Structure 1
């Protein structure tokens, strides 16, 4: 069994991984300065922990995992999801009235999902589509962003997301529902129907 040993090259990290990590961070935090800071913190933490690198993953995967933890810490420090139950209660009526018939729960005619002209998968890798996704995430209420990012960009499990952000499963599902409705609406207006 010939396993190739990965050797860390901290001197090459900025040149090799900075753009990738920055674009990942920017999508997840929607702020250039914060994304830059998180990448710098990632490199610093990785450098400090380089002796503990176990070679169980690639250098890129290891740095990406560190960045993901930095992003989670960023959202925790900002306490974005503090009082999320109150936020959901306070905004529930306005959100529902914008998208749904309050009498029967069905979509309002002007807000109902439309058939997209092309498959979303055909556009996923295009730079323009990624910019629109980033724009749509930026337009989303800040209390929805960390959960949406964890679920759909990091593909984390719901129970882990609830634990990491200290939210109830009920609040999690409301946040995911609202985020999906808002992303769909934003994509329709800015990508598929434009």
Structure 2
């Protein structure tokens, strides 16, 4: 397969993925450019064992991780950065969900993930997350970095990491449900 001939049609997808992770259009364009260059230079190594799109995303993930590593040395994280939402009001004094705040039943999760509408709303909700929270969530869930590595790169403790991930997931759930995902979907 000639990587160069297919690459232009995949650039918008790569840009969208990079922008969601990096939240800066110029940096996203830069890592996509680096990804395209790497794909062109190493196209002969693509054996077709996976889809070209999957291979390019793997390259892009590595470029994004490299960028985040460099940036993490410039940005300091503190526990105060993640104290924006207090979800304690969702629970009663015994630590159980308040009836009206229980997570909705979304039905079959695999079917929900296949819906274009879910991903459109999810992207809006990811964009609404505070930058540092979104960065850590993306590093863990999209870039699949191990928690130990994220903690080391960002200089945060494991317990802080798990609190951050909990808050990100809670904010995403609340956002998704406010925008209509849940019981009837």
TM-score class normalised by the smaller sequence: 0.7 to 0.9
Listed as ranges, the matches of 1:19-34 within 5 Å are: 19-34=12-27
State the match for 1:17 in structure 2. 10
Structure 1 residue 21: Cα displacement: 2.1
Listed as ranges, the matches of 1:34-73 within 5 Å are: 34-50=27-43, 53=45, 55=47, 58=50, 59-73=52-66
Q: Give the aligned length.
A: 181
d(CA) in 2 for partners of 1:117, 1:174 = 24
> Is residue 100 of structure 1 aligned with residue 88 of structure 2?
yes
d(CA) in 2 for partners of 1:79, 1:31 = 15
d(CA) in 1 for partners of 2:74, 2:93 = 30
Structure 1 residue 18: Cα displacement: 1.9
State the match for 1:82 in structure 2. 75
Task: Let me know the Cα RMSD of the aligned residues.
Answer: 3.5
Structure showing greater relative contact order (alpha-carbon pairs closer than 8 Å, 6 or more residues apart): 2
Structure 1 residue 79: Cα displacement: 3.3
State the match for 2:114 in structure 1. 125
TM-score by length of 1: 0.71
TM-score by length of 2: 0.74
- Structure 1 residue runs of 5 or longer lacking an equivalent are 1-6
Kept after mapping to 1: 8 A contact 2:113/2:119: yes
d(CA) in 2 for partners of 1:111, 1:161 = 35
- Structure 2 residue runs of 5 or longer lacking an equivalent are none
